[in-house]
Every structure is written in C-alpha cells, then in structure tokens.
Amino acid sequence: MPSPRIIARDRRDTLGEGPMWSAREEAVYWVDILGRRLNRLSLRDDAVTSFEMPDVIGWAIEREDALGFVAGIGRRFVRLTLDPVTIETIAAPEDDRDGNRFNDAKADAKGRIWAGSMPFTCDRPTGSLYRLDTDGSATRADDGYTIANGPAIPPGGDFLLHTDTAEATVYRYAVRDDGSLADRTPFIVFDADWGNPDGMTFDADGGLWVACWGGSCVRRFDADGRFDRRIDLPASQITSCTFAGTNLDRMFVTSAADGVDEPAGGCLFEVDPGCRGLPTPRYRG
C-alpha cells in the first residue's frame, strides 16, 4: 500500500476533526476545533483555504436545499455561510452546561444531524448525544458522555454507532421510527494497544473505519465488529476519516498536534483505503 500523503499547507491543526466530502464543490472540508477554523481542500487543484471562526467549531455539515452549512460552534447548532462568515443560531441545547462544547456529528439519510458534546476538560461525563431534526428542533437523545465522538449511521438508518473515546468503546443504538434511540450497547471495545476510538465512517461494503487516537492508524472492522485491517499513519493522535473523490475511493484522515511534539501531528493525510465509501448525507433543514 502506498505511503500516506501529507496535504501541503501552511499550518497544522491543533485538533483536526470532522472531515466531510462535498460532492457539489469537489472539496473536503474539516475543522480545527481548538484552532477555531474551518478548512477546505479543493480536489480540483489541491488548494487549501482556511476560514476563521468566532468560537471553537466541532463540525460542519452541508445543507441539502441551500448553500452553506449547519455547524456546531461552541455549544450551539448554527447556520454557517462563508465569504463572508455569517452565523445564525438554530438551537442552543447546551447553554446550561458551561464548560462543554460540540465535538463531532454526522447527518443521516433522513437529513437529520446527530451530534455529540463533551467537556473541554475531557474528564467528566457531562456530554450528550443530540438529534437535530429538519424543523430545527434539538433533542437530547442520550447523556453521560465524557468524550463523545464519531457518529456513524448506515444508509438504512436502523441503527447508529457512537463512541465514548474515554471509555475506549464504540456503542450501538437501535433507532426507532420516531428517531428515538433504544438503550446503547457496546459494539467494539478497543484493546489497550489499539489507542482509543475517535471519528468513524462506513464504507460501501458495510465495513466501519475508526480513527485511533493514540494508535497512529485507522482500523477497519467488518459488519459484526471484528477487526479486519489497519492503515498506519505518521502521527499518533488520529481523529477522523472520510471517503472522497468522484468515485469515493480516496480517504482523507485528520489528526491533532495538541499535546504532542511530532512533525506530522495535526496534518491532513490522504491514504488508499482499497475500497469505496458512501455518499455524504446533507442536512435537510
């Protein structure tokens, strides 16, 4: 397998996260949470653009019927447009939880957003899992997360995977017809030498790719949660991954420089996953 490619740019991310493929722009977006930036890599010419945000930004997801994004900025769901940056609050479900922030999110096939929150200190279970419906209403679907991470939802939408990185566990929820969740159950529990599970995405064959914080790799698991293979990376704090490109056969991987002294920490990588991904759902509100 070819070595990972480091995307050339003039900075590294303090806490890179949330990579997202935009088919309509032929670009990969990702955030630097602590650096308060939304980044954009054009696959047409490899140009990288960075947009400063007014607060920490956990993720950005494209809107289906409008330009721009819905994003998790600070503790709020917001509408976000670029050039110039404009922000409009949709919902503020965590205004009563000082010290928390949004961390990671995905849209599902019904156009809803599932988003996790967590404390800045990463040391207490004050985080939650939220569902943002297409009418702009936010519901706390589950609670008690220390480091909420990596929602992953298959196209059928009958279940959802969500991680507590602090617990080294990927959890599985059944999703009911009304969008509520059944009790969470452990799906994958990481071995001590794997690092900790972070951001996740499904491939077209039903495999689950998990970024390994502290593990210097992304790991693929089959549909039953059995480890299949891994792709090693030249940084320890790997945070998330996404499929991209016209054929969805390119994978981009984010990482963090915060707390480590590594030449490639905080870089955006491209790797060859040897498979294809799934189209990226958008928010339908």
Pairing of strands 86-91, 169-174: unpaired
In a domain, 266, yes or no: yes
- What the block records as the tokens of 68 is 């721009």
Domain of 162 in residue numbering reads as: 5-271
pLDDT at 3: 87
pLDDT at 284: 98
> 113 forms bridges with which residues in the sheet?
107, 132
User: In total, how many domains does the chain have?
Assistant: 1
List CB contacts of 50: < 8 A, sequence separation 6 or more.
9, 11, 37, 38, 39, 40
In a domain, 222, yes or no: yes
Residue 37: alpha-carbon gap to chain centroid: 15
Q: Three-state secondary structure along 225-258?
A: CCEEEEEECCCCEEEEEEEECCCCCEEEEEECCC
List CB contacts of 151: < 8 A, sequence separation 6 or more.
104, 105, 106, 114, 115, 116, 129, 160, 161, 162, 200
Active-site hit among 13, 32, 104, 198: 198
In a domain, 52, yes or no: yes
DSSP string, the chain: -PPPEEPP-S---SSEEEEEEETTTTEEEEEETTTTEEEEEETTT--EEEEE-SS-EEEEEEBSSSSSEEEEETTEEEEEETTTTEEEEEE-TTTT-TTEEEEEEEE-TTS-EEEEEEETTS-SS-EEEEEE-TTS-EEEEEEEESSEEEEE--TT-SEEEEEEGGGTEEEEEEBPTTS-B---EEEEE--GGG-EEEEEEEBTTS-EEEEEETTTEEEEE-TTS-EEEEEE-S-SBEEEEEEESTTS-EEEEEE--TT---TTTT--EEE--SS-B-----B--
Residue 151: alpha-carbon gap to chain centroid: 7
Pairing of strands 148-152, 138-145: unpaired
**Pairwise CA distance, residues 170 & 167, whole Å:** 9
pLDDT at 59: 98
In a domain, 276, yes or no: no
Q: Print pLDDT tens along the chain (285 aa).
A: 578 999 999 999 999 999 999 999 999 999 999 999 999 999 999 999 999 999 999 999 999 999 999 999 999 999 999 989 999 999 999 999 999 999 999 999 999 999 999 999 999 999 999 999 999 999 999 999 999 999 999 999 999 999 999 999 999 999 999 999 999 999 999 999 999 999 999 999 999 999 999 999 999 999 999 999 999 999 999 999 999 999 999 999 999 999 999 999 999 999 999 999 999 999 999
In a domain, 75, yes or no: yes
Is the pTM value of this prediction over 0.85?
yes
Alpha-carbon radius of gyration of the chain: 17
In a domain, 33, yes or no: yes
In a domain, 277, yes or no: no
**Pairwise CA distance, residues 83 & 192, whole Å:** 44
pLDDT at 131: 98
Specify the CATH number for the domain of residue 191.
Answer: 2.120.10.30
In a domain, 284, yes or no: no
Mark whether 193 is an active-site residue: no
